[in-house]
Structure 1
Amino acid sequence: MSIQRQFRKIAFGTGLILALSPINSTFAQDISADHLKVARQAIGALKVTANFDDILPATSERLKASLIQANPNFSDEISLTVDEEAIKIAGRRSALEEEAAMIYAKKFSLAELTEIAAFYNTEAGKKLLQSAPSAGRELLRAAEIWAGGISRDLSAAANVALKEKLTKAADVKPETPAEGDAAPKAE
């Protein structure tokens, strides 16, 4: 994965965390413990936060690279220190899981979350999650091919139909002009 892409993922994840941090405390009181528990099960089954697993390691690596570039003589100390500090804040990852559970609890009822978790914990649900990205790519390719064929066939059919209609129109002789509109006759 390119560094730019990793940076975009990290920036998105960080932005998401910051955007989600100020949870409305009155709303939090409206969500039951059971509802949140099932929401956690659903997000676990859906793996909705899995894309954010790389945020801390990638941030740590970027920080190490930056600090080592500025202070190459201290590379061992920098690496060790950054890793130690990263481990200390790794527990904050659970805050994102809580935020995700709260979001899903707000969007889905307890019954819906139960159904979602149940389905995505089945073999079919797991296979859907695993296969959906490649199936989506294949479907896009198929749609592009189909659209190309539709475009080609529509263009060909419209051209043939227009040619026939225009040829018939050209073969039809103009009607005789009405009296008074008659053109002078040659003598």
Structure 2
Amino acid sequence: MSRRLIAALGLALLASPQAASAQANKPAPAKPAATPGTAAANTPGETYSQSHLALAREVMLSSGIARSFDSVLPSFAEQIRKQAVTRPELAKDLDEVLASLQPEMELQKQRMIGIAARTYATKFSETELKEIATFFRSPAGKHYVEAQPQLLDEMVQEMQDWTQDVSEYVMVRVRAEMGKRGHQMQ
């Protein structure tokens, strides 16, 4: 996952636990069903039916997206530990404090899951979410989710290699074309 995404997710997760708890327990007012085959409109303050949000949550969780949230909070704890390295006498208390914050951090993760589910609900109708959920429940969908981390790792490596190759290719081509115009580039 990119550092920007981790930072953005981290900022979202750092809101107060009380707000997370209140938001997580707040029922969503009913929304008229979206027309099948069309994405729900994303208007400020729009709400979705409980079934629409439940499907959006299921799709988001079953797609493997929530795995990325799992890595954010431990990375914060690790960063805090690294900052405290200059004061080793804090290690025991710091570990205890971080452990005691786990329930609050879980609330923050659940808050982010709720935000992600609402984001899914803005992009997909309830009918579309049912179809997507069916896919993720299928053997092929489950295999897709299991393979996703390796696929992403391999694609990132391939993108890095491809970027390097294309960069070199473009530079060779630019030098050749500039040479045709009487300019020598190093």
TM band (smaller chain):
0.5 to 0.7
TM-score by length of 1: 0.58
Distance 1:44 1:108 in 2: 15
Q: Which residue of 2 aligns with 1:43?
A: 60
Corresponding residue of 1:10? 6
Native 8 Å contact 1:39 1:101 kept in 2: yes
Does the aligned pair in 1 maintain the 2:13–2:108 contact within 8 Å? no
* Match for residue 58 of structure 1 among 70, 75, 80: 75
Q: State the percentage of identical aligned residues.
A: 24
Work out which of the two has the higher radius of gyration on C-alpha atoms and give 1 or 2: 1
1:26 equivalent among 37, 40, 45: 45
After superposing on structure 2, the runs of 4+ consecutive aligned residues of structure 1 that deviate more than 6 Å are none
Question: Aligned partners of 2:82 and 2:151: how far apart in 1?
Answer: 37
CA contact (8 A) 1:120 1:126 kept: yes
Aligned residues of 1:13 and 1:55 also touching (Cα < 8 A):
yes
Q: Relative contact order (C-alpha < 8 Å, sep 6+): which is higher? A: 2
Deviations 1:65-92 (A, max 9, x none): 212x232123211211222124333222
Check whether the contact 1:42–1:116 (CA below 8 A) recurs between aligned residues: yes
Unmatched segments (≥5 aa) in structure 2: 15-19, 21-41, 163-186
Kept in 2: contact 1:38–1:110 (CA 8 A)? yes
Structure 1 or 2: more helix by fraction: 1
What residue number does 2:141 align with?
Answer: 125
> Alignment length, in residue pairs?
134
Superposed displacement of residue 6, structure 1: 8.1
Give the CA RMSD over aligned residues.
3.4
TM norm structure 2: 0.59
